[in-house]
């Protein structure tokens, strides 16, 4: 079965066993997780307080490579990621649907590396603007202290004023270039902030407290979106709306990311998913930036088969 906007994977007739555990190790990483729900989605709970089981089909939302080649993520295939995602979903009582009729959700997985604005170009533009401003300052001093009129009888500028005008023209050109780069930088920042789930947190931190000693949090957020980051986005759509009515009815989405520099995607994917496990299918409220140590072991992936929901127990007949 296919929809018009996603390539839907075949619905498996089994549930995956989850053997996720966290083991102590000496490596520290920082992951960022943002999760939100929409369209009135809420998990139902059983009388014992556990989450009611929901079934899903799974789809490949696509891989987005970064600017540079990276074997640690370029070689990762969708089945590899889907298997790991299935295990953390099972811990939240989400399971593969036995058939299309049983599917409640269409889970779509996207992954890749962000492409931030290149700071080298922006830095060069900044240096050029500072140089032209300094040149204008010296030219202005020379023009003001020059002996003789600013123009001769025919209206031609003096050499000092010509140098000043040239400095003004150069500064205006460099300022325009700087504005173009600044716009490109803002656009790239906005795209990455939306992709990674940083918009709400950045807006919350962008206030007067930044200039009163509380700007480090804001600076950390901006540093994140302006550096290369590995990410995984897990989105859940209403299955019937997606496949029967060709509508994108998003129910929940969880965004997970980690700095690419100093990490390898294929080695850190387990840690990323483990950090996001508790937030799948629910609203995190704000961006969660987790600093922790450890590595994650999923164990062997096993197909247990379809496990139907238990039938309700019959009430014993009352004796009269």
| Inter-residue contact 287 to 202 (CB < 8 Å) | no
Fold (CATH) for 7-115+228-305:
Double Stranded RNA Binding Domain (3.30.160)
Mean model confidence pLDDT for the chain: 83
83, pLDDT greater than 60: yes
Give residue 215's pLDDT: 65
26, pLDDT greater than 60: no
**Tokens 């019959």 found at:** 314
241, pLDDT greater than 90: yes
By the 10 Å C-beta count (0-12 exposed, 13-18 middle, 19+ buried), 265 is classed as: buried
pLDDT digits (tens, 9 = 90+) for 261-304: 999 999 999 999 999 999 999 999 999 998 755 444 444 444 43
Q: Mean pLDDT highest for which of 27-36, 117-126, 135-144, 204-213?
A: 135-144
| Inter-residue contact 45 to 282 (CB < 8 Å) | no
User: Cα(162)–Cα(139) distance, rounded to whole angstroms?
Assistant: 9
Using a cut of 0.85, tell me whether the model's pTM lies above it.
Answer: no
Give percent above pLDDT 90 in the chain. Answer: 58
Alpha helices per DSSP H over the chain: 71-74, 78-91, 119-144, 159-196, 199-205, 216-225, 239-243, 265-276
313: how many CB neighbours lie within 10 A of its CB? 6
Domain parsing of the chain, residue ranges: 7-115+228-305, 119-192
DSSP count for the chain of H helices, then E strands? 8, 10
- Identify the residue with better confidence: 64 or 2: 64
66: how many CB neighbours lie within 10 A of its CB? 18
Give residue 206's pLDDT: 86
User: Cα(171)–Cα(319) distance, rounded to whole angstroms?
Assistant: 97
């Amino acid at each position: 079965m296919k929809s018009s906007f996603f390539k839907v994977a075949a619905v498996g007739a089994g549930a995956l066993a989850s053997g996720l555990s966290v083991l102590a190790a000496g490596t520290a990483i920082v992951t960022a997780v943002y999760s939100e729900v929409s369209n009135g989605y809420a998990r139902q709970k059983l009388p014992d307080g556990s989450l009611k089981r929901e079934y899903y089909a799974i789809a490949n939302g696509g891989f987005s490579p970064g600017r540079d080649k990276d074997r640690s993520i370029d070689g990762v295939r969708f089945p590899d990621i889907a298997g790991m995602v299935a295990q953390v979903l099972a811990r939240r009582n989400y399971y593969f649907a036995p058939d299309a009729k049983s599917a409640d959700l269409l889970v779509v997985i996207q992954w890749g590396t962000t492409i931030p604005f290149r700071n080298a170009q922006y830095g060069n533009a900044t240096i050029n603007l500072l140089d032209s401003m300094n040149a204008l300052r010296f030219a202005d001093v020379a023009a003001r202290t020059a002996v003789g009129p600013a123009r001769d009888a025919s209206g031609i500028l003096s050499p000092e004023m010509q140098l000043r005008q040239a400095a003004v023209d150069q500064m205006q050109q460099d300022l325009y270039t700087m504005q173009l780069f600044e716009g490109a930088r803002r656009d790239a920042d906005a795209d990455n902030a939306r992709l990674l789930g940083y918009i709400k947190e950045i807006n919350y931190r962008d206030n007067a407290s930044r200039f009163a000693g509380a700007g480090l949090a804001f600076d950390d957020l901006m540093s994140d979106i302006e550096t290369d980051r590995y990410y995984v986005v897990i989105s859940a759509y209403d299955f019937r709306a997606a496949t029967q009515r060709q509508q994108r009815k998003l129910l929940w989405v969880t965004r997970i990311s980690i700095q690419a520099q100093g990490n390898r995607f294929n080695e850190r994917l387990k840690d990323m998913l483990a950090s996001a496990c508790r937030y799948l299918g629910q609203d995190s409220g704000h961006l969660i930036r987790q600093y922790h140590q450890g590595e994650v072991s999923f164990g062997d992936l096993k197909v247990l088969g379809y496990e139907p929901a238990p039938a309700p127990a019959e009430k014993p007949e009352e004796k009269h």
